[in-house]
Homo-oligomer: A and B are copies of this chain.
Amino acid sequence: MNITILGGGGFLGRKLANRLAAEGKLGGQTISSLILFDLAAPPAPAGAAFPVHSFGGDLAELPDGVIPAGTDVVFHLAAVVSAQAEADYELGRRVNVRGTDAVIDACRKLAKPPRVVFTSSIASYGGGQSALLDDSTKQMPGGSYGAQKAAAELFLSDASRRGFMDAVSLRLPTIIVRPGRPNKAASSFISAIMREPLLGLATDLPVDDGFKVWVASPRRAVEWLIHAATMDTSAMGLDRSVNPPGMSVKIGEMLAALDTVRQGASSLINRVSDPALMKLVGTWPANFNTARASSFGFSAHEPLLDVVRAFVEDDLAPTKAERGIA
């Protein structure tokens, strides 16, 4: 089995590469090779029993060799994230739309259509706090990132119908807890309010305790990516996109879980007002019916406390090291 990870240097891409290296198999089949692609050539995961090749470059000008003949699975995780796509329209379009077209064109050249697993986002929806969404809900995004993701989904479903590939697009919830530093995603604060206090650092909270978010853990997201790479797609029909079973949590519930894991940690939260950010994240939905995803075998989410504990177990030490925190 020959695998490519686009966005292989990113947070989920690295976790996925590590998991593939640790298991040596995908869907019961031995992995023969792994190709990683990102803006800069990503490092190979430790302990892989298969050759790993890394490439760096512009997704919209995808270098030859990133999706070579014989590729079985492409994980397409490369993206310009929400606040950045909002700030730089052309860059967002270039990576999120033209980049996806480049992936389609590379897949078209292969003799056998590869499985393509694409990370779309719940930011492709509007609806806001009160809406209950499912896979049949119209996508009417409140930001350019969401519009670009929704368009990319259309192109990947169409490319699957045409036989260029066999795509599964996952509309990922907001992933918590992200390690490292705050990033340019408008949802960055949702991880920051857990991560920064666990690092002993203060951080800003721009919404109130009753604000609901639709979230998933990195562990769960990697599980879903692997399931999407190996599942039977014959029941999907024309619609190759799915909302996996994340969970709806209130900010107040997140702070309570934080304090359960580290007593008093939430005292490091500064409540601030950010109307521009609120306008954007306020359009994101927080409640989904995920029956279709369950029917395809996507696994249910673990409890919130487990998510915080998994962050401490998996990501707190590397984050401290990266940020020079004792």
Contact = CB atoms under 8 A, between A and B. Distances in A.
Contact of A158 (B101, B141, B238, B283): B141
A293 to B, nearest CB: 16
Given A150-B154, A155-B151, A162-B89, A140 B101 contact: no
Nearest to A145: B158
Contacts of A158: 141, 143-144, 147
Interface in A239-264: 239
Copies in the complex: 2
A139 interface: yes
A169 to B, nearest CB: 13
Contact of A154 (B137, B141, B157, B283): B141
B147 A154 contact: yes
A89 B162 CA distance: 10
Interface size class of A (residues with CB under 8 A): 20 to 34
Interface in A116-173: 126, 136-144, 147, 150-151, 154-155, 157-158, 161-162
A46 B155 CA distance: 41
B126 A140 contact: no
A72 to B, nearest CB: 23
A76 interface: no
Identify which of A89, A151, A162, A239 gathers the most chain B CB atoms within 10 Å of its CB. A151
The 3 closest A-B pairs by CB, nearest first: A151-B151, A147-B158, A138-B138
